Structure 1
Amino acid sequence: MFHVIVRARKDAKALQYINERNYGGFLKVSSLGGGRKFNEVEDTLEELKKDPYIPILLFGEKEKELAKDISEYFLELSRPFYSRILRTKKVRNMRVDELYAHLEEIKARFRLGIEWDRTYKLNPENPLNIEINPDYDIYLAFGDGFRKNMRELLGVDIGSVSLVLRKLMNQEVYYSGSMKIAEVSKRIGEETEVLWRIPHTEEISLEDIIRANENYIGAFEDASKSFLEQFKDYDIIVPWSGGKDSTATLILASKVFKNVTAVYVKMEYEMPRTDEYIEELAKKLGINVVETFVSMPIDMYGIPTHYNRWCTKMKVEALYRAIEEFENPILVVGDRDGESAKRRLKPPVIERENEILGTFLEIMPIKFWSGMMVQLYILMNGFDLHPLYYEGFYRLGCTICPSLADWEIKLLDKRNELPEFFRRFIFGQKEEE
């Protein structure tokens, strides 16, 4: 979570309006009390540095000198922060929607910004000049299976570890070291297409990437833990699919709360090796897992499509049924900004209501993390990712999910784990086209 810091109280008031309107009031907003020189705000800064939330510093044109001194102060703390001079004399002089756009872009910088220094380091200043967009994500492509599949299916060698910028419509830019080496379109419903490639790879150590980002990820962990601590009086439920986001969320929640219940809704056409992964990791975490099975009557409803996602409704209802006996449940979910614009526009806490649970809260402690941060967090804690991530998957769903891209369908088919009726359906469609 983020702490937005400005010079004057009136500036903070303008930002608090945005905080309430767009973030449900769950960011922190504060002022430096109006001081114009560093020595006038130093005591306030001493208090602010104790706060685990990640600092975003916003200043007007008239406050450049103060902004410079404060940025140097935060730089010495060796923790992630970002400072920006706005084009108006004072922060409060900027239009509300323009100020909100600045916040969204800065938030994206924290998860997308990268520095290359013989390894990849997260840095909101973004020396590598990664394209910043609030709806983009980054993740790491690694594993012998991932590299082999990229070579065999696409003719692209990504090296030992590649940084991947995931843009809109599943378009991905692959980096090796500081160089862009390929761009691949994995658009749903279309053939996977290599838009361009160059034959260049650098051998990069995953262990070096982990070490280089430990403090950065640790700072985000502390911020997310502080956010979670507001909800200690609830029954903590983590819907756990075995995917990277719900796994990171479960690890995080287990560090904050004494009692955490993970709910694994197993779909009939679950991804391969998920059962084994859930069982193994649950033992290591010492987590109680409630498992519930959902059959998928294809003969009754047909193969799920984007326009008829009956399976999603069944999965959600099964989750609610599994926890209806809890007195005061709160769902701790792994939704992130980088997954979609729809998820980005949600506040970090949502109040929901349905016939099964009544009114309940859904909270998102890793909302502002990138895919790369999630991957590193799991590895830093001594756990492996789901095996399919090492073979080329970005996300996990079901083996008949309408959100499967051609790339993921090919990976499942290569493993002989694509259901035969779905295989006939997919490849029959392609033959007709």
Structure 2
Amino acid sequence: MLYPMSPKVVELKRRLDSFMDRHIYPNEERFYREAEELGPWKVYPVVEELKPLARAEGLWNLFLPDSSHGAGLTNLEYAPLCEVMGRSHLAPEVFNCSAPDTGNMEVLERYGTKEDKERWLKPLLAGEIRSCFAMTEPAVASSDATNIESSIVREGDHYVINGRKWYTTNATDPRCKICIFMGKTDPDNADRHKQQSMILVPMDTAGVEVKRALPVFGFYGVPDRASEVVFTNVRVPKENMLLGEGRGFEIAQGRLGPGRIHHCMRLIGLSERTLEKMCRRVRSRVAFGKPVSEQTVTQERIAEARIMIEQARLLTLNAAYAMDTVGNKVATAEIAMIKVAVPNMACQIIDWAIQAHGGGGTSNDFGLTQAYATARLLRLADGPDEGHRNQIARFELKKYSNA
């Protein structure tokens, strides 16, 4: 292997695989049923039952690098563990490693005050509360984060916040207690990347209204609790400002780097699981006088799927290694490349698996429609393919600027 696992990671992966076999896979049907029956405004009991088991086995907060609160793993070390968790929609939250809490916890650990960490980070690390991240807006093309129009205005010892956000993951969760909100404090600044700021907004603050849950391909609560939230004259203390006015874009870039790579790691696990389902299905079905697995088109798709997964994994491990060795900012191109390559790979493999399952593949019985919703969503979340491709192209063209 180009990136061999350390003995510590090998042992963690063994324990994680065992937990998945004993507790996650057997409870997936129940998880999907609870999500459908209870909806996105409720807590799913199966998740709360399994979280103490994961914590008791030391499989908790594995995502936090360079931290006394987690396993202290590097991005490269965390990658194979995150891949295992990505095999099931149920798993990430059970291990307290789900978005957007992971990114929010990293922001609080890096930029929060001592009081912020005590009030918000500590219960998030314990899995007692959840959080949301409010950046995307319905009125503008939020793929360009400098477009956001929400306002954060200083009034004495407070900031007043106004704006409409959507795809604010987790906001409908009754355990969601804190929001990291991105808005403009200096809309007239000549530097468009210094107009924005990020501020902490407790969800029980007057003027915060969670308007509705947003379905993702018809799913509410799975793959996430996408929500629309309106902020009307919301007043929070000036101490809630993170890092300082005009630093929002800087925080966003630091936050989204790890978030993007975590999404890609999980999608590789989801793709592996999907390929397994596809192989089992085609070996058990007969069409036109022979097993579907012996049809040439099926074999070609299985072969291509294996190649694509291996390519995506190597690209993702390379990005993780770059983040660990040169930092998130320098590894921007590597992160952008996996953010394009991995969701597209997953979408294609899931599509082939749906085809191999026949009409049943379009139902919710096999987990493929939920998987596709996740993969397709991630061609947009944390930046659309087009934005990342443009960024990659600019990096490439810059090499020839003096040619």
Same fold (TM > 0.5): no
With normalisation by structure 2, the TM-score equals 0.35
* Larger Rg belongs to: 1
By percentage of residues, which structure has more strand?
Answer: 1
Q: TM-score by structure 1 length? A: 0.33
